[in-house]
Amino acid sequence: MSTSSRSLVSVAVIATTTCLLAGCNKNSSASTGGAGSTGGAVAAAGGSTPAGAAAVIAGATGGGGPLDTSKQCAAIKPADVQALMKAPVTPVVNNPGECSFYGGALKVELYKNDPTQKYYQNPVNGPGTTPVPGVGDQAQWSAPVPGETIPWIESHKGSLTCIVSPADADQTTIPYKGTPPIVTIAPADSVAYAAKEGLLCSDAFTAS
């Protein structure tokens, strides 16, 4: 995220901050102006002005706040990132609640206040998911189109949920056949790649 983008004070980030602080769930609305909404968060920070909204984000992203993942991002080993991507590894960009590599092509989303795993994108061990052993307390991978898309991994340890969003196939080290975006990936290659993605979450867990 650029400096200019940060100065605009993204409503989405404010809403996420509010949810993490207030404990709202994935289906709740943050646009009504109530106590658990964006409006409520801004008011709590001292008004509806950009300065008040900036105070919300500053409190959440700095000094160990709910969106401050600087320690976890710093713990992710460059060698583990490089194992997933063809191009030389880029320095991590520490966005609120996210460790970003390759300009956002590869992302590690981190939810620090998630003891009940409500920020899992898929049901735990639900249909279409495959367990990933040895990562956190539990982990699983899935693919939007099995055999044709790159695995995503989500894992959990303690109160931290970690989700790895992969890059496009031609940017990654996963073996495939075909020409992106239409590719074929062998099941064994998906399993192996998901295990490598799991290392990024394992790294992040060491700093939590």
Amino acid at 81: V
Tens of pLDDT, residue by residue over 104-136, are 999 999 999 999 999 988 888 889 999 999 999
Coarse DSSP helix, strand, coil percentages of the chain, rounded to the nearest 5 percent? 35, 20, 45
Integer Cα distance of 20 and 25 in angstroms: 9
Integer Cα distance of 202 and 164 in angstroms: 11
Listed residue (146, 164, 148) closest to 156, CA to CA:
164
DSSP code of residue 70: H
Integer Cα distance of 144 and 138 in angstroms: 20
**What is the structure's pLDDT at 185?**
98
**What is the structure's pLDDT at 61?**
65
Identify the weakest region by mean pLDDT among 8-12, 177-181, 200-204.
8-12
Average pLDDT, the chain: 80
**What is the structure's pLDDT at 27?**
41
Tens of pLDDT, residue by residue over 6-45, are 333 333 443 444 444 444 444 433 333 333 333 333 344 3
This prediction has a pTM of 0.73
Spatial contact of 76 and 92, defined as CB atoms under 8 Å apart: yes
138 vs 2, higher pLDDT:
138
Q: Write out the two tokens for 131.
A: 């367990």
Whether the predicted pLDDT of 77 surpasses 80: yes
Coil, strand or helix: which one is 22?
A: helix
Intra-chain end-to-end CA distance of the chain, in Å: 24
**What is the structure's pLDDT at 134?**
96
